[in-house]
Amino acid sequence: MNLWIDNKSSAPIYEQIATQLKTQIISGALREDELLPSIRSLAKDLRISVITTKRAYDELEREGFLYTVAGKGCFVAAKNVELLREENLKAIEEHLAAAAQLAASCNVSTAELAEMLRLLTEGER
Amino acid sequence: MNALELKQLEKRYDGFTLGPLDLTLPSGAILGLIGENGAGKTTTIKLILDMIRRDGGAVRLFGKDNRESFPLGKEDVGVVLDEVSFSECLTAAEVGKIMRGVFRNWDAAAFEGYLRRFDLPEKKRFKEFSLGMKKKLGIAVALSHRAKLLILDEPTGGLDPVARDEVVGIFSEFTRDASRAVLISSHIVSDLEKLCDYIAFLHKGKLMLCEEKDRLYEEYGVLRCAREDFAAIDPAAVLGKRETPYGVEALLRREDAPRGMDVGRVDIEELFVLMARGGEGK
């Protein structure tokens, strides 16, 4: 598990942790039913407040990304991954639709648009 | 259980009154005490340690009154005061030998470990120590008698950035065990900003604020705007401000900010400075 805290970021620390854990759960780097570090030990390892860490976990639990077993700790939950993929797909569709609209408004053909996307994603590799 | 409770604690001097202070530090947590010079931080710490007589209120350490439970209670409290003083002619190892006789729970191996970790010289006498070395020795002693509560008055003052980072790490590590707690006062707010669970502001002997650190970011923000826009804001909502010929920075509760105006994040240092100034005007 990898986590970074950026003190210069405007995002609150609890949010940074929650977002990074979420990303790793969705990508599969953290597997279903995997035991997460305890709140206190994660806080101490990252040298941040216990309350901040608890808040990140609370948020993830509320969103269904992890579950708590009393006396044992916090584990990665499974159910939301599909849902999140679904949500991401929807967001991608929306972005693409916006791009298509913008393209149409300035006479960029669909083929050109597809070529642009291909070049962009190739550039990232 | 609460590691430390202050209830209506008061101390009166000619021209300065501290309190009444109410403050709670739960076990497992770190509380940072921030205040200007003369705000009463050291007085508060001395009252907790019963080094000076209080004029009213109560101090409880792990549920027990600090006067009744001492001296036994002192075993449980690791203290680093602003000025660390040991006998001038002693070396670090000799200080350790004396402490073995002072504390029942003295952990000689831990002490030696800290001396090595802090790179403290074996042969040098205390009077030849630099300010930073004195601080480090004080910290090593405070950490080596299996205390449950650390009370630290400006522990990072006089330390270089690398040493500061190291001791801040050690203090954070200290509360890995949830039965322990830390009270730390410092001017170096950046040291406290990451470390602390709770932040308390002391201003002219009064507690201006005591809150979970994360809630401070949520509750307060800084509005940066033109003077004309600032004039439209209810003055009662402004907790502090800084004016330049080109605009105004105003500290507000986020809920009090006018709609549509962007309230930026405030860091603890800025929050404290603006609030302390704002408090003066009122």
Tens digit of each residue's pLDDT, chain B (282 residues): 899 999 999 999 998 999 799 999 999 999 999 998 888 999 999 999 989 999 999 999 988 888 887 666 788 899 999 888 898 999 999 999 999 999 999 999 999 999 999 999 988 999 999 888 999 999 999 999 999 999 999 998 888 889 898 899 999 999 999 999 999 998 888 888 878 999 999 999 999 889 998 888 888 999 888 888 888 888 888 888 888 888 888 898 888 887 777 788 888 888 998 988 876 544
Please indicate, yes or no, whether residues A37 and A92 belong to a single structural domain of this protein. no
- With an 8 Å Cβ cutoff, are A51 and B168 in contact? no
Tokens, residue B227: 């003077």
Per-residue confidence (pLDDT) for residue B282, from 0 to 100: 43
Please indicate, yes or no, whether residues A98 and A55 belong to a single structural domain of this protein. no
Per-residue confidence (pLDDT) for residue B111, from 0 to 100: 95
- Percentage of chain A modeled with pLDDT above 70: 95
Beta-carbon contacts of B200 under 8 Å, excluding residues fewer than 6 positions away, are B23, B31, B32, B33, B34, B207, B209, B210
Give the chain B residue whose CA is nearest to the CA of A52.
B214
Q: Of B221, B213, B281, which is closest to residue B253 (Cα–Cα)?
A: B221
- With an 8 Å Cβ cutoff, are A51 and B213 in contact? yes
Please indicate, yes or no, whether residues A59 and A73 belong to a single structural domain of this protein. yes
Residue A120 lies in a domain: yes
Per-residue confidence (pLDDT) for residue B257, from 0 to 100: 80
Nearest Cα of chain B lies from the Cα of A66 at a distance, in angstroms, of 22
Q: Select from B178, B213, B214 the Cβ nearest to the Cβ of A40.
A: B178
- With an 8 Å Cβ cutoff, are B194 and A48 in contact? yes
Q: What are phi and psi of A96, to 5 degrees?
A: -65, -40
Per-residue confidence (pLDDT) for residue A81, from 0 to 100: 65
- With an 8 Å Cβ cutoff, are A52 and B195 in contact? no
Per-residue confidence (pLDDT) for residue A125, from 0 to 100: 56
Tokens, residue B86: 């040991």
Residue A124 has pLDDT above 70, yes or no: no
User: DSSP code of B256?
Assistant: G
Q: How many residues does chain B have?
A: 282
Tokens, residue B161: 């950035």
Give the chain B residue whose CA is nearest to the CA of A10.
B265
- Give chain B's domains with CATH numbers: 2-204 (3.40.50.300), 216-281 (no CATH)
Please indicate, yes or no, whether residues A26 and A60 belong to a single structural domain of this protein. yes
Per-residue confidence (pLDDT) for residue B114, from 0 to 100: 94
Per-residue confidence (pLDDT) for residue A80, from 0 to 100: 63
CA distances from A27 to A21, A34, A47, A74, A121 (A): 10, 14, 26, 19, 18
The alpha-carbon radius of gyration of chain A (Å, integer) is 19
Beta-carbon contacts of B186 under 8 Å, excluding residues fewer than 6 positions away, are B32, B33, B34, B154, B155, B156, B157, B192
Whether the CB-CB separation of B32 and B188 falls below 8 Å is answered with: no
Interface of A with B (CB under 8 A): 7, 10, 12-14, 40-41, 43-44, 47-52, 55
- Rounded to whole angstroms, the Cα distance separating A37 from B138 reads 33
Please indicate, yes or no, whether residues A20 and A71 belong to a single structural domain of this protein. yes
Contacts B173 to A, Cβ<8 Å: 44
Residue A79 has pLDDT above 70, yes or no: no
Q: What are phi and psi of B26, to 5 degrees?
A: -75, 155
User: DSSP code of B146?
Assistant: -
Residue A50 lies in a domain: yes
Q: Of B127, B72, B117, which is closest to residue B94 (Cα–Cα)?
A: B127
Amino acid at the residue B270? E
Per-residue confidence (pLDDT) for residue B34, from 0 to 100: 93
Please indicate, yes or no, whether residues A64 and A38 belong to a single structural domain of this protein. yes
Band of residue A78 on the pLDDT scale cut at 50, 70, 90: confident
User: DSSP code of B53?
Assistant: -
Please indicate, yes or no, whether residues A39 and A56 belong to a single structural domain of this protein. yes
Per-residue confidence (pLDDT) for residue B20, from 0 to 100: 92
Amino acid at the residue B176? R
CA distances from B33 to B27, B130, B187 (A): 16, 26, 9
Number of domain units in chain A: 2
Please indicate, yes or no, whether residues A72 and A54 belong to a single structural domain of this protein. yes
Residue A7 has pLDDT above 80, yes or no: no
HSE-CB for B140 with a 13 A CA cutoff: 26
Question: Dmax of chain A from CA atoms?
Answer: 62
Which residue would you say has higher pLDDT here, A85 or B117? B117
The alpha-carbon radius of gyration of chain B (Å, integer) is 21
Band of residue A122 on the pLDDT scale cut at 50, 70, 90: confident
Does B245 sit behind a cis peptide bond, omega within 30 degrees of 0 on the bond before it?
Answer: no
Interface of B with A (CB under 8 A): 28-30, 168-169, 172-173, 175-176, 178, 194-198, 212-214, 217-218, 265
- Rounded to whole angstroms, the Cα distance separating B221 from B266 reads 5
Please indicate, yes or no, whether residues A68 and A86 belong to a single structural domain of this protein. no
Please indicate, yes or no, whether residues A28 and A71 belong to a single structural domain of this protein. yes
Per the DSSP assignment, residues forming a β-bridge with A63 are none
Tokens, residue B149: 């509560």
3-class secondary structure, B138: helix
List, for residues A20-71, the tens digit of each pLDDT value.
998 888 888 888 889 999 999 999 988 888 999 999 999 999 988 899 998 8
Quote the domain boundaries for residue A109.
Answer: 81-124
Please indicate, yes or no, whether residues A61 and A21 belong to a single structural domain of this protein. yes
Contacts A13 to B, Cβ<8 Å: 214
Size of interface A-B (CB pairs under 8 A): 45
Please indicate, yes or no, whether residues A92 and A56 belong to a single structural domain of this protein. no
Per-residue confidence (pLDDT) for residue A56, from 0 to 100: 94
- With an 8 Å Cβ cutoff, are A50 and B265 in contact? no
Look-up: residue for tokens 């039913």? A33
Average predicted confidence (pLDDT) for chain A? 87
